[in-house]
Amino acid sequence: MGNWKMNGSNSMVKNLIKELFNEGEDIQRASQKNLIDCVVCPPFVYLQQVAELLNQKKDSFLQLGAQNVYCESEGAYTGETSASMLQDVGCRYVIIGHSERRQIFGEENDLIARKFIKAYDTRLIPVLCVGETREERESGSTFDIVRQQLQAVMDLAPIQYFERAIIAYEPVWAIGTGLTATPEQAEEVHGYIRGLVTEYHDIASQVRILYGGSVKANNAADLFSKPNIDGGLIGGASLNSKEFLSICRAALVGV
Ligand code: PEP
């Protein structure tokens, strides 16, 4: 899943999608065999444009996601976007609780949980981001933080929602910093997350858990080789078609 964050322009969007289609025929074939789900999350203003570009391609392997959503259905919420609007323009996925939303925009666990439920109830696939800061890791509270972030959602949402929803473990210290969690560090937390879901329901083995944090073509294969890492949430590297497609290829190794 590529998170383009606040990057792009009309022409950049057009070129990037064109390059992904031209260079990604192998991923297209893999997607037709249901071996991979490949999603791009452009900024809101380009969602419609990307949806149209994807519709022009027969059996596009790229699916559409949004980077955020609001928890109410409609009304006086200036600047916000509802889940049904995202549906309406063709989104299938939405990122919820990205650490940049938590840190820069002050989103807290309760709001994130309400967004998660609204997205799910509107038939979107919520991608719930959790992860600790550097200070939290250094003080040994990674598991506590991840547990609190997940618990806030599990307290409000039926656990069955995780059959379709996706969890993304994104250590804040690794996002956009060039520092990546080692495959072992990531696997440890992914295993912990799967264990937490197991406490509630036996669907845990089916829950998809993505890793995010400076994933690049040269480290993706090692991360994805771990049993509890089911894919990636890719920021910076998703803006480059070659990098992004190489990461998709790494996800296919051993599938
Ligand atoms: C992200 O935006 O979720 C992310 C992981 O960014 P980057 O890959 O640039 O670290």
Distance (Å, whole) CA 29 – CA 31: 5
pLDDT score of 147: 97
Tens digit of pLDDT for each residue in 51-68? 999 999 988 999 999 999
What is the tens place of the pLDDT at every residue in 90-109?
A: 999 999 999 999 999 999 99
* Ligand 1 nearest atom to the CA of residue 99, by list position: 3
Distance of alpha carbon 222 from the chain centroid: 19
The whole-number pLDDT of residue 178 equals 86
Q: Is the pLDDT of residue 41 over 80?
A: yes
Please give the Cα distance from 251 to 211 (Å, whole number).
12
pLDDT of 205: 75
The residue type of 147 is R
The single residue of 136, 170, 187, 243 carrying the catalytic annotation is: 170
Q: What rounded mean pLDDT belongs to the chain?
A: 96
Instruction: Note the pLDDT of residue 200.
Output: 76
Q: Which of 35, 23, 114 is nearest to 68 (CA)?
A: 114
Active site residue 170: yes
Judge whether 129 and 233 are in contact, CB under 8 Å.
Answer: yes
pLDDT at 202 over 80: no
pLDDT of 8 over the 80 cut:
yes
* CB-ligand 1 contact for 233 (6 Å cutoff): yes
Q: What is the pLDDT of residues 129-187, one digit of tens each?
A: 999 999 999 999 999 999 999 999 999 999 889 989 999 999 999 998 888 899 999 99
Question: Given this model, what pLDDT does residue 198 score?
Answer: 85
- Residue 80 CA, chain-centre distance (Å), reads 20
Task: Say yes or no to pLDDT of 235 above 90.
Answer: yes
Predicted confidence at residue 88, as pLDDT, reads 98
Position with higher pLDDT, 202 vs 211: 211
Q: Name the pLDDT band for 238 (thresholds 50, 70, 90).
A: very high
* Pocket-testing residue among 99, 132, 214, 247, ligand 1, by greatest number of atoms within 8 A of Cβ: 214
pLDDT-derived band at 203 (thresholds 50, 70, 90) equals confident
Q: What is the pTM assigned to this prediction?
A: 0.96
* Per-position DSSP letters for the chain, written without gaps between them: -EE--S---HHHHHHHHHHHHHH-HHHHHHHHTTS--EEEE--GGGHHHHHHHHHHSTT-SEEEEES---SSSSSS-TT---HHHHHHTT--EEEES-HHHHHHS---HHHHHHHHHHHHHTT-EEEEEE---HHHHHTT-HHHHHHHHHHHHHHHS-GGGGGT-EEEE--GGGTTSS----HHHHHHHHHHHHHHHHHH-GGGGG-EEEEESS--TTTHHHHHTSTT--EEEBSGGGGSHHHHHHHHHHHHTT-
Ligand 1 pocket mutation pick from 41, 98, 180, 233 by most atoms within 8 angstroms of CB? 233
CATH class of 2-252: alpha beta
The full set of domain ranges for the chain reads 2-252
Counting residues of the chain whose pLDDT is more than 90, the rounded percentage is 90
